Amino acid sequence: MAIPSETEYGPIRTPLNVDKLRAYIEDKVKGFKIDSEVFQFSFGQSNPTYLLSGNNGKRYVVRTRPPGPLISKTAHAIDREYRILDALGKDGSVPVPKVYHLCKDESVIGRQWYLMEYLKGRKFEDVRMPEIKTKEEREALWMSIIQTLAALHALDPQKIGLGDYGSTAAFYPRQIRSLSKVSQAQSQVVNSKTGKPVGPIPRIDFLLEWYGRNLPGTEADKGYDAGTSGRSLEARVIHGDFKVDNMIFHPTEPRVIGVLDWELSTLGHPYSDLANLLQPFYIPSESGGQGYLTGLRCGHPTLRPPHPPPSTLLSSWCSHMGLDFITAMGGDESTAKVGAMGNVDIDTQEKAMRGKRRWEGCVSFAFFRLAVITQGIAARVAQGNASSAKAAQHAKIFPLVGSLAVQHIELFADGPGTAASSRAKL
């Protein structure tokens, strides 16, 4: 785990028996000697993460499950994180920290944990990367990000020992079913102070019906060839929360040297990772999300933003995956213009339209997923289980994020002309 500044870690907040941890590591992990001074990383993580130093001058990271009983049996699966990091490290296609040891014996420190390498590099908390001074370096960083993601998605889970890492059934239908149930339950939670329910995500019935007809893996989508040469995009290894602030970059070179935080990794559809990574590009930059969402979508066609457009990044991903950009995602704006002039055959035009609808639908679904997450925060606030000011602020935005899901379908998946009245005002 790499942090660019000493201010990113500090005193231990989540209790840790340092003496027992040190004794175990020095006894079980060959060649390791650990100093007594241990810090905890300060950025928000559901799995407490600690910084250790060795007498050889090197630093290491211990990542643990939270203390106490777990509400969910599948949450905070430290052993799964270790498993995927170990598999990816041995394969070598995707840069990840080296893992040294997994301890399942909870008698050591009271919970499971694993030991891994500390990566020294840069970490960008802001997707706009304001620290980067030149457009050329920022573009190179983004191209490294997309190439790293493509390297992950190109892997064959069976060949790296992850064939049973998750369900191999169609990803999006499973997500639609599970998130719709979660959202329904959350919407009915009553605020203990106001007596009012949290309420539903705006136009959720429209969204679920549209997703059920258009997303990859749904009934209407069966038989569609996205140009994958016979190998389905389903059941690929996906990160689950792939975004800029979950990566470590080389101290001076524009390249990714480590992907972090694999807690949500599983087998699924790669469009999920892509939509999560590129989500800021589909949020209007002029809105800013009132400080909650960072938008990179420029509303002025004559202005050139200081980062690659999503079409460039998607085209690069397709190229690395061996996919046809037009068939898989509908191409870019120039594709549509050429098609409108009659310079593309009807079959290709139909594939482009279908590919575009599938991809833009996945972008919309990423907004829907975020709406469900923030609706969950609203439900916890209503129950009195999340009292921080930050939680209260985030609880207010789920209707706005839900509106972005609707807007994206109307503006980009089904075409412009119907979204003016439903444009989300962030």
Average pLDDT score, the chain: 87
Better pLDDT: 59 or 298: 59
**DSSP secondary structure of 184-241:** HHHHTPBPTTT--B--PPTTHHHHHHHHHHHSTTSGGGTT---S-TT--STTEEE-SS
Q: Residue 96 and residue 117: Cα distance in Å, rounded?
A: 9
When pLDDT is cut at 50, 70 and 90, the band that residue 310 belongs to is: very high
Residue % of the chain over a pLDDT of 90: 67
pLDDT digits (tens, 9 = 90+) for 108-146: 999 999 999 999 999 998 899 999 999 999 999 999 999
pLDDT for the residue numbered 335: 60
The CA-atom distances, in angstroms, between 19 and each of 75, 188, 276 are: 27, 47, 40
Query: Would the pLDDT of 286 be above 80?
Result: no
Q: Residue 388 and residue 3: Cα distance in Å, rounded?
A: 25
pLDDT for the residue numbered 71: 58
Return the amino acid letter for 56.
N
C-alpha closest to that of 244 among 296, 287, 288: 296
pLDDT digits (tens, 9 = 90+) for 94-106: 999 999 999 999 9
> Domains in the chain, please, with CATH?
9-118 (3.30.200.20), 135-413 (3.90.1200.10)
Token code pair at residue 206: 């429209």
Counting beta carbons within 10 angstroms of the beta carbon of residue 11, is it exposed (0 to 12), middle (13 to 18) or buried (19 or more)?
Answer: exposed
Q: What single DSSP character describes residue 341? A: T
- Contact indicator for 405, 363 with CB cutoff of 8 Å: no
Would you call 326 helix, strand, or coil by DSSP? Answer: helix
Query: Sheet of 39-41: strands edge to edge?
Result: 9-10, 39-41, 49-53, 59-64, 113-117, 99-103
C-alpha closest to that of 165 among 83, 90, 91: 83
C-alpha closest to that of 397 among 294, 292, 296, 295: 292
Return the amino acid letter for 115.
L
Query: Would the pLDDT of 292 be above 90?
Result: no
Query: Would the pLDDT of 161 be above 90?
Result: yes
Better pLDDT: 1 or 286: 286
Report the alpha-carbon angle 27-28-33, nearest 5: 55
Model-level pTM? Answer: 0.90
Locate the DSSP E strands across 42-135: 49-53, 59-64, 99-103, 113-117
Counting beta carbons within 10 angstroms of the beta carbon of residue 261, is it exposed (0 to 12), middle (13 to 18) or buried (19 or more)?
Answer: buried
Query: Would the pLDDT of 5 be above 60?
Result: no
List CB contacts of 17: < 8 A, sequence separation 6 or more: 108, 109, 110
When pLDDT is cut at 50, 70 and 90, the band that residue 284 belongs to is: confident
